[in-house]
Amino acid sequence: MQVDKTTLADLSIFHHEEEQSVFHHLNYTQTNDGREYLRYLLGHPLQSVADILDTQQTIRQLMQVAKDWPITVTNGTIMVMERYYESQINDFTQHPNSINAFIYKTFNGPDYSLIRYTVEHAIDFTKGLQQIVNLLKDQTLSKQLVAWVSRMSMLLNKPMIQEMMWENKKELTPVQILRYGGFIRFHFKNQCFELVELYSKFDAYMSIAWACKKFGYCFPEVKESKEPYIKATGLHHMLLEVPVSYDIELSVDKNFLFLTGANMAGKSTFIKAVGVSAYLAHLGIGVPAKDMQLSLFDGLLSNIQVVDNIVKGESFFFNEVQRIKNTIEKISDGKNWLILIDELFKGTNQQDAVKCSTTVIEGLRKMKNALFILSTHLYEIGDDLKKYDNIQFHYFETSVKNDQLLFSYQLKEGISNDRLGYIILRKEGVVELLEKL
């Protein structure tokens, strides 16, 4: 799936305020390397159904063993081991005995302490990795897990490592400490870094598994299809504490959703919910829905948070036009696309906005290789679009009671007729302030 930085930002996959991001929502990693690998995964959607299904299987299998996952592998443990290879310490014999080990401990106290500390953490690290191997080795694993588990098992299957991991770290003698410390430093460096890299992958995927299990996400059915489609029930936005769920269906016969409703009624949230779920599906991750089926998309583009560019002297409207132009050029390749557009042409006057919006919608709706969700505050253009069979109309209803706005956030069929701007102006006291001038 092709996706650009603008779309990732629009969907808050990553966000400059991290707590508002999908990444933060899924981040249960225990290590820095795992966290960075999770970031990498969320930025690289998969390109085939086979890869998506294999990743789904990986996450499902990790969900099954989550309660038995080892806790001895920590970020601190990995940092200690990595820094051991960077530290400058006095040379010590790789064939220690009780005499030269005692001498080294006596005259090189700080260095000896570092070696001992590292060996203790190495025992925790290798024990934890062996537990992972034991948890997974007898199961029918995904291709990813088969590769990782077999490689991890091979790297751990060194006589010295096998001997070391079953030691009681609090009862190690100076001879054992120098013996294991020497092996780790001089004969296991590359293998150690490879094991850290392998664990970071496990850490990232286990993080996703924890999130899917905690929030009850479903694994969508993704299929190869010449015609794009999405069908979901109970879909909601994962970043909301108290979300409202939606049902949605888009297909080649009904490929354009024309969405209306007042500001704050829920249009943007709905669009982002669909976009996030479609994107997560192409990562092989569970989605916040009861059920979801969709075709494999070649690309996902959004037009949600367009901004002006003061440095380049580009107006808000100009950048809206450029984004639409770029979208049309990209989706003219005949491949399957999902296009999300929120409040089209906010940056120009009402008359221009109506004409531009109608022109764009009438053009886009002819493209059968793409699905579109477009929200607008220009309700008046809806009636003229009803003559097109492939456009479906939905809205979010808003009611007023005792001068208070009530939002149901329920998606309904039809076109909104809400006109609430003046009510909001009056409710916030702006009208009263102006009358007192």
What's the CATH code of the domain at 132?
1.10.1420
The pLDDT of residue 377? 85
Examine the domain organization and report whether 195 and 295 are in the same domain: no
The proportion of the chain whose per-residue pLDDT surpasses 90, expressed as a percent, equals 80
- pTM of the full structure: 0.92
Examine the domain organization and report whether 229 and 374 are in the same domain: yes
Identify whether 264 is part of a domain. Answer: yes
User: What is the mean predicted confidence (pLDDT) over 383-412?
Assistant: 86
Examine the domain organization and report whether 328 and 227 are in the same domain: yes
Examine the domain organization and report whether 184 and 231 are in the same domain: no
Whether residue 305 has pLDDT greater than 90: no
Examine the domain organization and report whether 228 and 128 are in the same domain: no
Task: Please give, one letter per residue, the 3-state secondary structure of the chain.
Answer: CECCHHHHHHCCCCCCCHHHCHHHHHCCCCCHHHHHHHHHHHCCCCCCHHHHHHHHHHHHHHHHHHHHCCCCCCHHHHHHHHHHHHCCCCCCCCCCCHHHHHHHHHHCHHHHHHHHHHHHHHHHHHHHHHHHHHHHCCCCCCHHHHHHHHHHHHHHCCHHHHHHHCCCHHHCCHHHHHHHHHHHHHHCHHHHHHHHHHHHHHHHHHHHHHHHHHHCCECCEEECCCCCCEEEEEECCCCCCCCCCEEEEECCCCCEEEEEECCCCCHHHHHHHHHHHHHHHCCCCCECCCEEEEECCCEEEEECCCCCECCCCECHHHHHHHHHHHHHHHHCCCCCEEEEECCCCCCCCHHHHHHHHHHHHHHHCCCCCEEEEEECCCHHHHHHHCCCCCEEEEEEEEEEECCEEEEEEEEEECCCCCCCHHHHHHHCCHHHHHHCC
Examine the domain organization and report whether 201 and 282 are in the same domain: no
The proportion of the chain whose per-residue pLDDT surpasses 70, expressed as a percent, equals 95
The pLDDT of residue 80? 96
Examine the domain organization and report whether 234 and 125 are in the same domain: no
User: What is the mean predicted confidence (pLDDT) over 299-324?
Assistant: 72
- pLDDT tens, 325-375? 999 999 999 999 999 999 888 777 888 889 999 999 999 999 999 999 999
Identify whether 12 is part of a domain. Answer: no
Examine the domain organization and report whether 86 and 184 are in the same domain: yes
- pLDDT tens, 198-251? 999 999 999 999 999 999 999 999 999 999 999 999 999 999 988 999 999 999
State how many domains the chain has. 2
Identify whether 7 is part of a domain. Answer: no
For residue 209, what are the domain limits?
Answer: 31-215
Identify whether 3 is part of a domain. Answer: no
Examine the domain organization and report whether 132 and 255 are in the same domain: no
Examine the domain organization and report whether 69 and 185 are in the same domain: yes
What's the CATH code of the domain at 422?
3.40.50.300
Whether residue 400 has pLDDT greater than 80: no
* Of the residues 215, 247, 267, the one at which a domain ends: 215
